[in-house]
Amino acid sequence: ARHRDLRVRRFRVERNQRLILCMDTGLLMDEPLEDLQRLDHAIHASLLLSYFALRAGDLVGLYTYADTPKTWLSPTAGMRNFNRLKLACAGFHSEPVETNHVLGLHHLLSKLQRRTLVVIFSEFIDTTTAELMIETIERLLRKHLVLFVALDDPLIEKPFKECPETPEELAETLVTSDLKQERHKVLRHLQRKGVHIVHGSPEQAAT
C-alpha cells in the first residue's frame, strides 16, 4: 500500500543440498527381517530416498563400511546419478565381520567438506556395543545433520501384542522386553545428542 503497487513475495524450495547415504555392511546387517536381510531393506530405503532427493535438485552420495571403509561415491546431482547409485547398491553384501564404527565414521567425516545430511543405516546389539558408535556420531554432529534409521525386528515387537498364556511365552516376552528396552535406551540417547531418529518396521521406515 505504501508503494501503491502490487508486490509479490516468492519463495523457492532450497536446492543443491548434500545428502550422504551411509550403510553399515557388517555382520548384524545380515539378520533377516520379513524374508529379507537388514541390508536389503536399507538399500531399498536408500534408493527410494535418493530418487526423490535427486528429483528435488539435491546432491546424493553413498558410503559403506564394515570392519574397514568400503564404497565411497561423492555427492552428485542429476537423475543420471540414480543409475550410478543403483549399480553400486547391486554389488553390496553383508560381511561376516564386526563393524568398526570408529574407523568407518571417522573416514566418512574426513570426506565431508561441507555441511551434509548423513543418513545412517546400521544396527547394534545393546548399550555396551553401541557406546563407540554414539561417540563417533557425536563428532559428525558438530558439523553435519545426522539421521539414524533403525529397523525394528517384528519378532521382538510381536510378543507385546499378545498376552502370554504359557511359561514359555512368558519367558519369551521377558527376554524380548529387555532387548526392546536396551534398544530404545540407545535410540533415546542418540536423540538427546541431537540425532534425528527414524525407526519402525522395514516397510514403514522406508516410507
Q: Which residue has the higher pLDDT, 5 or 73?
A: 73
Residue 125: how many CB atoms within 10 A of its CB? Answer: 12
Cα–Cα distance, 179 to 126 (Å, whole number): 8
- With cell 565411497, the residue in question is 72
C-alpha 12, offset from chain centre: 28
pLDDT of residue 53: 94
Cα–Cα distance, 195 to 156 (Å, whole number): 24
For the stretch 51-105, pLDDT in tens is 999 999 999 999 999 999 999 999 999 999 999 999 999 999 999 999 999 999 9
Neighbouring residues of 102: CB distance < 8 A, sequence distance ≥ 6: 132, 135, 136
For the stretch 142-170, pLDDT in tens is 999 999 998 887 776 666 667 777 887 77
